[in-house]
Structures are given as structure tokens and as C-alpha cells.
A and B are shown apart, each in its own frame.
Chain A
Amino acid sequence: DQQVKQNSPSLSVQEGRISILNCDYTNSMFDYFLWYKKYPAEGPTFLISISSIKDKNEDGRFTVFLNKSAKHLSLHIVPSQPGDSAVYFCAARAGNNRKLIWGLGTSLAVNP
């Protein structure tokens, strides 16, 4: 039972263009969502988060959009750079002190 779904295992984008990574969830109790980036042989690194009371959060080239009615969030990277090539994980939490539920990840390749 996958409560957090990242349906695209991989994505390839040209440098300078927009990368859009999608995440769907099934649990309406999730109140906080996070994106982590993971390079090979390293642990995940926190990228950006959004609370369920917001619909958008922006940090530099990274923007996360939340559509609660559709139970969908997306991460936009503009412009994409080769250094953004990594696996991106979507994670969600239901209430304080609750464990994060992680998606399977999307492998992003940004081509020069």
C-alpha cells in the first residue's frame, strides 16, 4: 500500500529547461510534505518543504506546488542544471511526531 506515489521512475531534461517532478498521495491526513535529493553513495539531502495550509513554496530555483483537492504535489526546478541530476524523493507526514512516508523516487537526468 503505497501512500506516497512517484509514478515516474525517471525523467530526462535539457539544461536550462524546466524539470517537473510529480508526487501523488492517498492519505488526506498528511499535513507536511518534503522533497529530498539524493546523489549516488550519499544520504538524502533536504531540498524544500510545504505545509498543507499553503499551496506554494519557493526557494531559489525550486518551487513546490500543492493541490490538496487532487492530493498532488509537484517540484519545479527552473532553470535545470546538470548538477541537479539526482534521485528526488517525495515524503509526507501526518501530524507531529509521525514518521515520514517516502515515495520510491524519481531519477532526474539534466543533459548539457
Chain B
Amino acid sequence: EAGVAQSPRYKIIEKRQSVAFWCNPISGHATLYWYQQILGQGPKLLIQFQNNGVVDDSQLPKDRFSAERLKGVDSTLKIQPAKLEDSAVYLCASSLGSENTEAFFGQGTRLTVV
């Protein structure tokens, strides 16, 4: 079974530039999550989709972050404009249901904002 795919693996941008991350979840998984993990911290949920609807985006900085999940499958997370404090690993995860139990994570995208 293929796992959660994310791209790119690494990205370096200058502050105020924009960046986009892509995620392809495990086939058949209805729930998709985007997490931000800053060095030395645990993952923080940015947004949770159930199919193509948003379940929770309470911690998404909506003035600069946006996410969409087209057709309930792939998802993109965008940051525009980026700030230095956005430097982190962005993890995508998916699960069969919405109960936040066993989620499968991708390898993440390491973003460095300089």
C-alpha cells in the first residue's frame, strides 16, 4: 500500500515570498490533516479536511495560510507571504475516519524562510 506522498521534500525561500506544498493521501482515506512542526516541538494541527470539507482550521493563520482539497483527494497548502517564523516541517497525514485515531504521515516538507 502506498503511503502519504508529499512534495517537495525541502524548500528554501526568502521572506515575503510565497510557497505551496502538495499532498497525496492514502487511497480511500477520507480525512486529511496538515500539521506544522517547529523544531523541538510537537506537531500542531493547521487544518483538517473530511473529504473536501474543512472540519477544523482554528489554528490556521488565515491571513497568510490557505489550503484546499480538490475532489476530496489531493491537497495543497499555501503560504503567502512567508515570514521567518514559518520555518518548520509541514506534515500531511491521512486517516480512514475522522476520529483522529491512527493517522498515517508523509515524510514532510522542510521549509526554511531566510
Q: Give the B-binding residues of A (Cβ under 8 A).
A: 4, 32, 34, 41-46, 49, 89, 91, 93, 96-100, 102-105
Contact = CB atoms under 8 A, between A and B. Distances in A.
Given A97-B98, A99-B56, A89 B43 contact: yes
B45 interface: yes
A44 B43 contact: yes
Given A102-B44, A104-B42, A97 B100 contact: yes
Contacts of B108: 42-43
17 contacts: A4-B42, A41-B107, A43-B93, A43-B106, A43-B108, A44-B43, A45-B105, A49-B101, A49-B102, A96-B98, A96-B100, A97-B98, A97-B99, A100-B103, A102-B43, A104-B40, A105-B42
Secondary structure of the A side of the interface? loop
Q: How large is the interface on B (under 10, 10 to 19, 20 to 34, 35 or more residues)?
A: 20 to 34
A44 B105 contact: yes
Contacts of B56: 99
A8 B75 CA distance: 35
B91 interface: yes
Q: Ordered nearest first, which 8 A-B pairs have the shortest CB separation?
A: A43-B105, A102-B42, A99-B45, A46-B102, A96-B99, A93-B100, A44-B105, A100-B100
B22 interface: no
B55 A97 contact: yes
Given A34-B101, A93-B99, A102-B43, 8 more contacts: A4-B42, A43-B93, A44-B43, A44-B91, A97-B55, A104-B40, A104-B41, A105-B41
Contacts of A99: 45, 48, 56, 100
